[in-house]
Amino acid sequence: MADPSSGRVLRNVRVLTNVFAWLGGIGLATQLLFADTAFAAKAVLVVLLLVVLVSWRWPDRDRWVIAVVEAAVLAGSALVLPAPQPAVAFLFGVVTRRALGGGSSRALVKAVPALAGYLAGQGVLAVAAVRAGSVAFDGLVPRLLPLLGLVIGSAALHATVRAVRHERDARQAVHAVIDASPVGMLLVDDAGTTLLSNARAHSMFGRQNGLCQVLCIHGNNVVLCEKCGGGTGPVELNTDGAVLEVHTAKVPQESRPELTLVVAVDVSERRRQEDALRVRAEQDDLTGLASRPHFLHLLEEALGTGEPVGLLVIDLDQFKEVNDSDGHHAGDEYLREFARRTAPAIPPGATAARLGGDEFAVLAPRSGADGSARLAGRVLRALTTGPEREMRASIGVAVSTPGTTAAELLRDADAAMYIAKQEGGARAKLFHDEIGARVQARQRDKADLRAAVHGGQMVVHYQPIVELATSRVTGAEALVRWRRPGRGLVRPDEFIGLAEETGLIVPLGAQVLEAACAQGARWSSEGRALGVTVNVSTRQLSSAGFETSLLHALRVTGMPPENLTLEVTESVWADDAAMQGLMAVRDSGIRVALDDFGTGYSSLSYLQRYPFDFVKIDKSFVAALGETGRTAGVLRCVIDLADVLGARAIAEGVETPEQAEWLRREGCAYAQGYLFGRPRHPDGWDDQPAARGARPVRS
């Protein structure tokens, strides 16, 4: 990208100046040859003049000696020639050539000897003429004024040349930078002709007839197009697969119509990244469904139309079991499988999304209650038609009414989904006012439970655990009760699930554990050899600092570790952090009991790998005793298995002497149930056998 105008002007000035200087030199030589003076003097001056003229052919070799020779020629010419004009012409040529050097002030300084030589010669003549009385003193003024003008003009010319050269150098530097720029640049006149363009512009737009031209999407020159030009904003063009962003800006000119600067930026990579980010923002990485933010945006747009909008909120019923038992990789594949199975059930115009975790949603614009319910049915049927295991989900359906907000519709669909899950899952529920009331009651329960846990409304009762061989009470299980205002004592099966859901199980469990340790220490100080069993949730076990807080409670209360038993369910096996915490506290002397054995995902490998001190037989097996021989056989197996593994069996839910007698006879070590005593407050708690007919077995 070069601008030759300043260089061309300088060359033209230099040519004219050289022509004038050569003409002046030749003219002076001619005058000297024909001057009426001694031949020797003329010959010397002509030779010196020829030396000067020859030196002009190699200006880069110009030395100070040439400047001295120029001074000698001018001084001699002033003395020899009758008229000063030829010498003055030559002097003008010499000085202006020096002034055109422009590189440094030394070039102009070299013109001083020539000027001084001419002045010296003219001065000698003037003094002689004045003394002879032939010329008045004021006659010197006309001789000197042209020289003064020559000096001033030459200095101005020198300064001008230097300025032009500096500007040219600066332009060349700018042009070099622009040529190296990754941005395409063109300077276009008002007729659309490209005056200047850089290499990047050539690679972007190519050349036609030696010129680079930017054609807009309308097929016109981008500068002349009324829709694209005028600097109204960037224009996006696609050329050979590249995306170019073209900007235009007017460049005012003093001597001619304004020009237009066209700047083109290749934004292909940026567009690709933006598209990728947009896809990531709009799609869930795992399932490929719509993301939560994009789905909420679509929901807002659909509600803005004023037409009814159907919304399905879907929660997978078995995801936690899959994730816990098979690992997170299997859980991820389970979520992807859900997306694959339900895709055919989603009609055109509807949008499926993953809201987070195992919660999904389907947006059905312009869909009423019947259409949304049918859509939910298709989704449920799609989950049962997979090639592998059947998938189950709970679906809540809500339909907007005029003025419904996105948050309200989501809340209603989520409430309906919660009721579907409470009713056993694998079903869809359509939201109605009664569901809203039930969910509001649930929210009140959550708030009341939070106030109860932090407000001292939780109390601990204790149910005796009896050694069947002796009918002696050897321990007690700590069971929490909620003294709810206006409701009396609330059993744990009515609020433990709520505590798990809200995370209150951790502070609640800590309270029960501390109270049980304090009570066990109190019984020990009274001389009662009673152990205490406390239920601990998997979430509590895996919480940070559980082991530290437990050991602190033992230390503060003085409860011997061997008198404390932690009771856990089989779900603890699926949580590595919980299992590590459990085994760590067991190493400190605390005993561990496996609760509800046989009702969950029992695994002999876990029983063998992780030692338990007690295995508790679920009350459902005890209640079924006598109904079938099969139940009795299962109970015998469990009792024998516990014995083989070095643990002792504890039967729960024993309510009749016959059940106790059968368990005692089959070798079950311990039992608890209403036959031996209900859970009671520790005040006045009796550790004597409470069961009628629960006589000890004599060996």
pLDDT of residue 101: 63
What is the reported pTM? Answer: 0.53
**Cα 535 to the center of its chain, rounded Å:** 43
pLDDT of residue 115: 67
Rounded CA gap, 318 and 371, in Å?
Answer: 27
Structure tokens at 223: 């500068």
- Which residue, among 506, 502, 533, 507, has the nearest Cα to 519 in the 3D structure? 533
* Burial of 240 from C-beta contacts in 10 A (0-12 / 13-18 / 19+): exposed
For 235, the enclosing helix (H) or strand (E) is strand 235-239
Q: DSSP string of 236-301?
A: EEEETTEEEEEEEEEE--SSSPPEEEEEEEE-HHHHHHHHHHHHHHHB-TTT-SBPHHHHHHHHHH
pLDDT of residue 65: 74
For 651, the enclosing helix (H) or strand (E) is strand 648-651
Rounded CA gap, 663 and 621, in Å?
Answer: 11
399, 428 contact by CB (below 8 A): no
Angle between helices 5-33 and 85-99 in degrees, nearest 10: 150
Residue 618 — φ and ψ, nearest 5°?
-65, 145
pLDDT of residue 190: 75
Pairing outcome for strands 648-651 and 614-617: parallel
Please write the tens of the pLDDT for every residue from 643-659. Answer: 888 899 999 999 999 99
Rounded CA gap, 259 and 256, in Å?
Answer: 9
Q: How many CB atoms neighbour CB 184 within 10 A?
A: 24
Rounded CA gap, 45 and 111, in Å?
Answer: 18
Beta bridge partners of residue 109, listed in sequence order: none
181, 261 contact by CB (below 8 A): no
Please write the tens of the pLDDT for every residue from 595-647. Answer: 877 665 556 666 777 778 999 998 988 998 877 778 888 899 889 988 888 89
- State the chain's maximal CA–CA distance in angstroms: 170
Rounded CA gap, 354 and 314, in Å?
Answer: 9
What does the angle CA 203 – CA 207 – CA 209 come to, to the nearest 5 degrees? 170
What single DSSP character describes residue 425?
Answer: S
Rounded CA gap, 10 and 73, in Å?
Answer: 28
- Which residue, among 365, 367, 370, 371, has the nearest Cα to 305 in the 3D structure? 365
Rounded CA gap, 56 and 17, in Å?
Answer: 12
pLDDT of residue 162: 64
For the chain, residues with pLDDT lower than 50 are: 1-2, 690-699
pLDDT of residue 171: 67
- Which residue, among 627, 681, 677, 266, has the nearest Cα to 466 in the 3D structure? 677
175, 183 contact by CB (below 8 A): no
- Which residue, among 51, 50, 33, 31, has the nearest Cα to 42 in the 3D structure? 33
Please write the tens of the pLDDT for every residue from 107-160. Answer: 666 667 766 666 676 667 666 666 666 655 555 556 665 665 566 666 666 666
Residue 27 — φ and ψ, nearest 5°?
-60, -40
Rounded CA gap, 421 and 379, in Å?
Answer: 16
pLDDT of residue 473: 94
- Which residue, among 530, 312, 292, has the nearest Cα to 427 in the 3D structure? 312
Task: Look at the alpha carbons of 121, 124, 128, 130 in this order and tell me if their dihedral is positive or negative.
Answer: positive
